[in-house]
Amino acid sequence: MDPNIHIRSFEPGDASAFRELNERWIVEHFELERADIEALSHPYSHYIEPGGAILMVVDGDSTVGCCALVAAGNGVYEVSKMTIREDYRGKGIGKALLLAIIDAARNKGASLVYLVMSDKLQTAVRLYEAVGFRHVPREQLPPSHYERSNVFMAMRP
């Protein structure tokens, strides 16, 4: 990863960038769902206040990626809203961000980290598999709030 690019915790001024980055990839592949709109409209109260986290990837003054961690309770955390701006993809940033959010979950005492996504995002599926996520039956995870979800993965951090 380029040494000028770094990963840091969400700051109050990051809400617009978090929303814009996520809306861009969601609209490119799907439609914004009610759960997306709620989470993206109130990232601090949706992710951070309940015990989760948001990490931002920055290159100088530009925000080029983000990922959220949802506290699902009892040591279970969901990786959510992970994206890297298209012109920054393929540089190892997504993997570094994913490993950082897994570390954040581990530091919060996670016993299980999971994600739900769509099989339309095969590059992302392969990334998650490469860092240790395994496919699991939907019933083993908390309910998904997204209609587009048809891939269910989990790992022990």
Angle CA(132)–CA(149)–CA(115) in degrees, nearest 5? 30
Mean per-residue pLDDT for 65-76? Answer: 97
Mean per-residue pLDDT for 14-19? Answer: 97
**Within 13 Å and on the Cβ side, how many CA atoms surround 60?**
1
pLDDT digits (tens, 9 = 90+) for 85-121: 999 999 999 999 999 999 999 999 999 999 999 999 9
Q: Which pair of structure tokens corresponds to residue 20? A: 């814009």
Of the chain, the percentage scoring pLDDT greater than 90 comes to 92
Mean per-residue pLDDT for 26-39? Answer: 93
Residue 55: pLDDT over 80: yes
Going by the DSSP 8-state scheme, the letter that residue 140 receives in this structure is G
Residue 1: pLDDT over 80: no
Domains, the chain, ordered by start: 5-111 (3.40.630.30)
Residue 146: pLDDT over 90: no
Residue 137: pLDDT over 70: yes
Residue 3: pLDDT over 80: no
Bridge partners of residue 78, in order along the sequence: 70, 114
**Mean of pLDDT over the chain:** 95
pLDDT of residue 12: 87
pLDDT digits (tens, 9 = 90+) for 34-52: 999 999 999 999 999 999 9
Residue 4: pLDDT over 90: no
